[in-house]
A and B are shown apart, each in its own frame.
Chain A
Amino acid sequence: MIIASKKPIEEIIQEITPYSRILILGCNECVTVCEAGGKKEVEVLASALRIFCLSKDIEKTIGEHTLERQCDHEYLEEIRNIVDDYDAIVSLACGVGVQFAAEKYLTMPLIPGVNTVCLGANEDRGLWTERCQACGSCVLARTGGICPVSRCAKRVLNGPCGGSTNGKCEISKDTDCAWQLIIDRLKALDKMEEYETVAPVKDWSTDRAGGPRTVTREDVKI
């Protein structure tokens, strides 16, 4: 899922300075699971902002609402009737939700309340780590189910590089060397002979490099 982390409150306080009626808009999916922008986080942020305003004698109205998702038209429509009560929205959804809301409510300033970080998994309570870079052409079948694009700092496709030490990446002792993981997995799968197959030059045109990407399914279009 998409992993995000809360923006510092100081930054949000700065951004809402020009506005007096602010809606904190949460999302019930990814940002709820990574505890950055769900209903709970909306409540806490709203309360903190109110405390700030009250303590500094600043007049602002802070409203709260959480949608199921902010990346679907139907859900964003749900706030159509309350949107006019506000002059800005702080969206705690991922970058997708913030933008989709901005497209839907053209004259409403949208302020992101979280930093969208990566596509990842919930490794442990309070720990979310990157697993996918959305390169658009998945090679996981060749690498024992471990992605060299997202988990190798140099995204080498024929790794490891010379900096791998004790199973860790040269950039940090806390970062696993993706290629060590791949080799371990290939061994476990009894597929070590595949290691010597040279991975060809990658087609990055399906990655960010190729421009904003689109997926369509003609068969489900109405």
Chain B
Amino acid sequence: MSGYVSDSRLERVLKAGHLGVTSECGPPRGSDPEDIKKKGLLIKEYVDAVNVTDNQTAMTRMSSLAACIHLKLLGIEPVLQMVTRDRNRVALQSDILGAASFDISNMLCLSGDHQSFGDCAQGQNVHDLDSMQLVQTVRHMRDEGKFLGGDTIKRPPRIFVGAAANPFADPFEIRVPRLAKKIACGAEFIQTQCIYNLDKFKEWMRRAADRGLTEKVFILAGMTPMKSVGMAKYMKNKVPGMDVPDEIIDRLAGVEKKKQAEEGINICVEHIQELKEVPGVAGFHIMAIEWEEKVPEIVERAGLFPRPDM
């Protein structure tokens, strides 16, 4: 137990020097937990932990915390994603304790997409804290055992805390300083936005390594397989902060429509193989939203199966 900040399997895998593997599930737009349980069970043996998104793109869904609890009860290790858009510091700390009460031991701290993207564009947003301050808060609750207000927490949360990073967002020149900042705030693992431009990602990693940041944090490279050339074009043109090189588009366009999904998986696996060799890459975060059934294949073909015994 010493040397570990939580009961997290992900923490153990990463600290033992193995490449970590995480994936992602979105909770349903309703109160039936069956779907998320099914998705979780599908990928359980192939990943070290499963992220559960928090009202992603500001579309109202079952809460991340509730979905995490369902997974936890099935023996699947969740990563609670928490955005600062919808909750003030009282609610954030409260939900952290709620998660800890179920021994949910991983958290990813995010700002969250603006509510104008979602189904409640007329709603208020909160942003009492930003994502970096949320990381600080979790660390404070865990390591000092205190609430932000100063009072002592009975049974402080033991949570392995992470943050997101986007090597492709603007401006590029502050992407590594931003990473440094997140580490300074206490982030212990990083999951990046999905990577298609390997060169740019490698450049970012190189700069991070130069500053010694790769020694201080576990960086999990985000990977999302393309289902079709249409999806690739959409991601390139319509999704902010996404860098999709033309080679990917051309490669997908070069195969007939019904083979594009297979090609997308091929590209994903090839990329994982290539990035395994990059110093500082501590693992992979495979996001195959609504395509979770492909995660086992990707993990296997990338040589990351079976997951280590911890």
A→B interface (CB under 8 Å): 153-167, 170-171, 177, 180, 183, 195-196, 198-202, 204
Whether A201 pairs with B240 at a CB distance below 8 angstroms is no
Which residue of A156, A171, A180, A199 contacts B127 across the interface (Cβ within 8 Å)? A156
Closest Cβ of chain B to A102, distance in Å, is 26
Whether B169 pairs with A163 at a CB distance below 8 angstroms is yes
Query: Which residues of chain B are near A157, meaning CB under 8 Å?
Result: 130, 133
Whether A201 pairs with B85 at a CB distance below 8 angstroms is no
Query: Which residues of chain A are near B89, meaning CB under 8 Å?
Result: 201
Q: Whole-angstrom distance between the alpha carbons of A109 and B84 in the complex? A: 42
> What are the 3 tightest A-B residue pairs by CB atom distance, in nearest-first order?
A156-B130, A158-B132, A165-B240
Closest Cβ of chain B to A197, distance in Å, is 9
Which residue of B130, B174, B193, B240 contacts A154 across the interface (Cβ within 8 Å)? B130
Tell me if B164 counts as interface (CB < 8 A to partner A): yes
Query: Which residues of chain A are near B177, meaning CB under 8 Å?
Result: 195-196
- Extra inter-chain contacts (8) besides given A162-B111, A164-B170, CB under 8 Å: A156-B131, A158-B131, A163-B240, A164-B169, A167-B171, A170-B117, A200-B133, A202-B128
Whether A158 pairs with B114 at a CB distance below 8 angstroms is no
Q: Whole-angstrom distance between the alpha carbons of A213 and B185 in the complex? A: 32
Q: Whole-angstrom distance between the alpha carbons of A55 and B107 in the complex? A: 66
Known: A171-B114, A195-B177, A196-B184. Is A162-B241 also a contact (CB below 8 A)? Answer: yes
Tell me if B136 counts as interface (CB < 8 A to partner A): yes
Q: Is the interface of A mostly helix, strand, loop or mixed?
A: loop
Q: Whole-angstrom distance between the alpha carbons of A183 and B125 in the complex? A: 24
Whether B114 pairs with A167 at a CB distance below 8 angstroms is no
Whether A183 pairs with B193 at a CB distance below 8 angstroms is no
Q: Whole-angstrom distance between the alpha carbons of A200 and B140 in the complex? A: 13
Query: Which residues of chain A are near B170, meaning CB under 8 Å?
Result: 160, 164-167, 177, 180
Whether A162 pairs with B114 at a CB distance below 8 angstroms is no
Closest to B240 in A: A165
Tell me if B129 counts as interface (CB < 8 A to partner A): yes
Closest Cβ of chain A to B238, distance in Å, is 11
Interface pairs (20), CB distance under 8 Å: A154-B84, A155-B130, A157-B133, A158-B132, A158-B185, A164-B169, A164-B240, A165-B169, A165-B240, A165-B241, A166-B170, A167-B170, A170-B241, A171-B114, A196-B177, A196-B184, A198-B133, A198-B181, A201-B136, A204-B128
Whether B113 pairs with A163 at a CB distance below 8 angstroms is yes
Q: Whole-angstrom distance between the alpha carbons of A180 and B174 in the complex? A: 10
Query: Which residues of chain B are near A155, meaning CB under 8 Å?
Result: 127, 130
Question: What does the 1/0 interface line of B94-121 toward A look like (CB < 8 Å)?
Answer: 0000000000000000011110110000
Query: Which residues of chain A are near B117, meaning CB under 8 Å?
Result: 170
Closest Cβ of chain A to B171, distance in Å, is 6
Closest to A166 in B: B170
Which residue of A154, A166, A180, A196 contacts B111 across the interface (Cβ within 8 Å)? A154
Query: Which residues of chain A are near B164, meaning CB under 8 Å?
Result: 162
Closest to B125 in A: A154
Query: Which residues of chain B are near A158, meaning CB under 8 Å?
Result: 130-133, 181, 185
Closest Cβ of chain A to B286, distance in Å, is 19
Query: Which residues of chain B are near A171, meaning CB under 8 Å?
Result: 114, 116
Q: Whole-angstrom distance between the alpha carbons of A199 and B129 in the complex? A: 10
Tell me if B64 counts as interface (CB < 8 A to partner A): no
Tell me if B180 counts as interface (CB < 8 A to partner A): yes
Closest Cβ of chain B to A188, distance in Å, is 14
Query: Which residues of chain B are near A161, meaning CB under 8 Å?
Result: 111, 130-131
Q: Whole-angstrom distance between the alpha carbons of A201 and B149 in the complex? A: 11
Whether A198 pairs with B132 at a CB distance below 8 angstroms is yes
Q: Whole-angstrom distance between the alpha carbons of A119 and B174 in the complex? A: 30
Query: Which residues of chain B are near A162, meaning CB under 8 Å?
Result: 111, 164, 166, 169, 193, 240-241
Whether B241 pairs with A154 at a CB distance below 8 angstroms is no
Query: Which residues of chain B are near A163, meaning CB under 8 Å?
Result: 113-114, 169, 240-241
Tell me if B289 counts as interface (CB < 8 A to partner A): no
Tell me if B148 counts as interface (CB < 8 A to partner A): yes
Query: Which residues of chain B are near A170, meaning CB under 8 Å?
Result: 113-114, 117, 240-241
Question: 8 Å CB contacts to A: which residues of B125-165?
Answer: 125, 127-133, 136-137, 148, 164
Q: Whole-angstrom distance between the alpha carbons of A118 and B130 in the complex? A: 23
Closest Cβ of chain B to A142, distance in Å, is 14
Which residue of B113, B133, B181, B193 contacts A196 across the interface (Cβ within 8 Å)? B181
Known: A170-B114, A183-B174. Is A164-B241 also a contact (CB below 8 A)? Answer: yes
Query: Which residues of chain A are near B169, meaning CB under 8 Å?
Result: 160, 162-165
Query: Which residues of chain A are near B113, meaning CB under 8 Å?
Result: 163, 170
Query: Which residues of chain B are near A167, meaning CB under 8 Å?
Result: 170-171
Closest Cβ of chain A to B237, distance in Å, is 11
Q: Whole-angstrom distance between the alpha carbons of A171 and B58 in the complex? A: 12
Whether B171 pairs with A153 at a CB distance below 8 angstroms is no
